[in-house]
Homo-oligomer: A and B are copies of this chain.
């Protein structure tokens, strides 16, 4: 897919912005004209940050999270529990889990989910690398933390089956009501899962 950018600089930037997700022509125009009026340091810092990202950031050779060096900071951290691997779809999921502060193990980033409608099969994801890790490393538990939707569930099920022969513990994140959420607004399936997963009140 080749794409020839417009020659007019304003049009060219609007065009480049519209290629980002969730940014339509109107937002793109607003951003372009904002940058036109913004101080050089704001605009050029954005340009340089994009370039630095593409130059300096690669994927961790072990877990495929973003990394500047060969290993990501989490894989390189000897205080993390290297025998528990949390399998997630995207690097942003690692950020979310790290923010919770509740996880001390390591990760494995699939970079997507199995999605036949969008032509994404297991071979497009970092699944064989996960199997290789389980084969070679001393793994105790695999937490399947793909998203709680159809594709995420299917991917989790596929991976669970692949890893069965290795005899590691395979778990999935709990379903239930979000903390601070309102029962009234919870959807049927979440409520059903919250009921199924109910536990003794302590």
Chain A residues near B (Cβ < 8 Å): 3, 5, 8-10, 12-13, 15-17, 19-22, 27, 29-37, 40-54, 56-57, 66, 68, 90-92, 95, 111
- Which single member of B16, B53, B92 contacts A45 (CB below 8 Å)? B16
28 contacts between A and B (CB under 8 A): A3-B41, A8-B68, A9-B53, A9-B57, A9-B68, A10-B66, A10-B91, A12-B49, A12-B53, A13-B46, A16-B45, A16-B46, A19-B46, A20-B34, A22-B27, A30-B92, A32-B53, A33-B90, A35-B54, A36-B53, A36-B54, A36-B57, A40-B54, A43-B53, A43-B54, A44-B54, A46-B50, A47-B47
- Looking at chain A's contact residues, the main secondary structure is helix
Copies in the complex: 2
Are the CB atoms of B56 and A9 closer together than 8 Å?
yes
